[in-house]
């Protein structure tokens, strides 16, 4: 049976979010862990670990690659899980790894824990429960009456729309361990502070025939006039830049393994698929294309396929030191 170790922890303030840290020391290696210890619906949990080898440790000829997994558990059941990816470094006897998992926008009160499974080698595997706390959040509800044009977009069952949804989902559920393009905190895609909707809003769409459907709004909407500049929230790679039935002219940028930002309803694009972009680079101009009741920018962030609150990423979520 695997031993669960409770690690020593303390609270430190990193930029403007509270980050917790934990340490584990053994004969063969030392772990230093930084993570956000608050589990909140719609946020993410990021854990950064560095592993150092003690000076008196006997060196083996071939050091096995270190592996780790991050899990979110409800009672004892794993509800989210992802492997850590390695960050590049030039120091010897030093390994740095990062991992993020989303916390569902639907998360209910319960008994949750954050676990790290660390394999220093195939025969040296340890599990750590990281101390954490749950903070619930309530999301507003709104009713949107759709006109003829928006009703037909929302109820479009064409193979073309289905293919567009499949294509986007394939991108958003792709994790490329080597795609580390940005460790910096995000910046907002527009200077406007005029939010017209938030990520997690519970939305009821009422169609022209009187029927309705309920869904979650996955991004933050900025009520900006058509032609407003839209900038990339972080450095990355453009993995989609095209017109879609429901989201209009759309851009998706990959920033970290499994971490993407999305920009919808644009009027024109300035980038194409495959382009590398810097933080703040112009992606295009906003508009009202696709399902939109007026000109606005929809900015969304996805982690391992799940929508997460973009505001979370305005913090130093990777615990990067300047
Ligand atoms: Zn929106």
189 alpha carbon – ligand 1 mean position (Å): 14
73 — phi, psi (to 5°)? -115, 145
Q: Which two tokens stand for residue 316?
A: 């130093």
198 alpha carbon – ligand 1 mean position (Å): 8
316 alpha carbon – ligand 1 mean position (Å): 25
172 — phi, psi (to 5°)? -70, -25
Fold adopted by 4-134: Immunoglobulin-like (2.60.40)
Considering the segment(s) 141-314 as one domain, its CATH architecture is Distorted Sandwich (2.70)
Domain boundaries, the chain: 4-134, 141-314
pLDDT at 61: 64
Q: Based on the number of CB atoms within 10 Å of its own CB, is 58 exposed (0-12), middle (13-18) or buried (19 or more)? A: exposed
33 alpha carbon – ligand 1 mean position (Å): 36
306 alpha carbon – ligand 1 mean position (Å): 15
Per-residue pLDDT of the chain (322 residues; tens, 9 = 90+): 344 444 444 344 333 456 899 999 988 899 999 999 999 999 999 999 999 988 777 766 677 789 999 999 999 999 999 999 999 877 878 899 999 999 999 999 999 999 999 999 888 999 999 999 999 999 999 999 999 999 999 899 999 999 999 999 999 999 999 999 999 999 999 999 999 999 999 999 999 999 999 989 999 999 999 999 999 999 999 999 999 999 999 999 999 999 999 999 999 999 999 999 999 999 999 999 999 989 999 999 999 999 999 999 999 999 998 7
Q: Where are the alpha helices (DSSP H) in the chain?
A: 148-154, 159-172
10 — phi, psi (to 5°)? -145, 165
269 alpha carbon – ligand 1 mean position (Å): 18
Q: How far is residue 151 from each of residues 156, 206, 221, measured CA to CA in Å?
A: 8, 8, 19
99 alpha carbon – ligand 1 mean position (Å): 27
Q: Are 165 and 157 in contact (CB under 8 A)?
A: no
Size of the chain in residues: 322
Q: Is the dihedral of CA 266, 271, 276, 282 positive or negative?
A: negative
96 alpha carbon – ligand 1 mean position (Å): 36
Q: Which two tokens stand for residue 187?
A: 């910046």
The alpha-carbon radius of gyration of the chain (Å, integer) is 21
220 alpha carbon – ligand 1 mean position (Å): 6
For 14-18, the CB contacts below 8 A with 24+ separation are 14/316, 14/319, 15/185, 15/315, 15/316, 16/315, 16/316, 17/315, 17/316, 17/317
135 alpha carbon – ligand 1 mean position (Å): 25
Which residues, by Cβ under 5 Å, contact ligand 1, an ion?
A: 219, 221, 298
Which residues are paired to 248 by β-bridges? 244
pLDDT at 44: 98
291 alpha carbon – ligand 1 mean position (Å): 9
Q: How far is residue 96 from each of residues 84, 88, 153, 158, 217, measured CA to CA in Å?
A: 10, 7, 46, 46, 35
């Amino acid at each position: 049976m695997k031993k669960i170790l409770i690690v020593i922890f303390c609270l430190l303030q990193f930029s403007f979010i509270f980050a917790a840290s934990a340490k584990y020391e053994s004969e063969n290696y030392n772990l230093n862990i930084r993570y956000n210890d608050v589990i909140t619906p719609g946020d993410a949990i990021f854990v950064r670990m560095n592993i150092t080898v003690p000076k008196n440790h006997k060196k083996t000829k071939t050091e096995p690659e270190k592996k780790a997994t991050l899990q979110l558990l409800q009672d004892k059941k794993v509800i989210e899980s992802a492997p850590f990816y390695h960050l590049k470094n030039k120091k010897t006897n030093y390994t740095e790894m990062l991992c993020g998992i989303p916390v569902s926008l639907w998360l209910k009160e319960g008994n949750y824990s954050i676990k790290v499974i660390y394999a220093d080698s195939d025969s040296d595997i340890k599990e750590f429960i990281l101390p954490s706390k749950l903070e619930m959040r309530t999301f507003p509800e709104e009713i949107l009456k759709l006109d003829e044009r928006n009703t037909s977009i929302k109820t479009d069952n064409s193979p073309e729309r289905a293919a567009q949804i499949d294509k986007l989902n394939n991108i958003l559920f792709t994790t490329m361990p080597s795609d580390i393009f940005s460790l910096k905190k995000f910046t907002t895609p527009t200077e406007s502070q005029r939010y017209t909707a938030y990520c997690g809003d519970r939305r009821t769409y009422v169609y022209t025939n009187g029927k309705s459907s309920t869904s979650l709004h996955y991004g933050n909407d900025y009520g900006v006039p058509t032609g407003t500049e839209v900038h990339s929230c972080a450095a990355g790679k453009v993995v989609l830049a095209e017109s879609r039935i429901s989201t209009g002219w759309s851009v998706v940028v990959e920033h970290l393994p499994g971490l993407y930002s999305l920009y919808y309803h644009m009027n024109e694009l300035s980038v194409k698929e495959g382009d590398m972009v810097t933080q703040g680079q112009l992606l295009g101009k906003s508009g009202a294309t696709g399902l939109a009741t007026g000109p606005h920018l929809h900015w969304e962030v996805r982690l391992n396929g799940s929508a997460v609150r973009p505001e979370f990423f305005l913090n130093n979520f990777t615990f990067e030191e300047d």
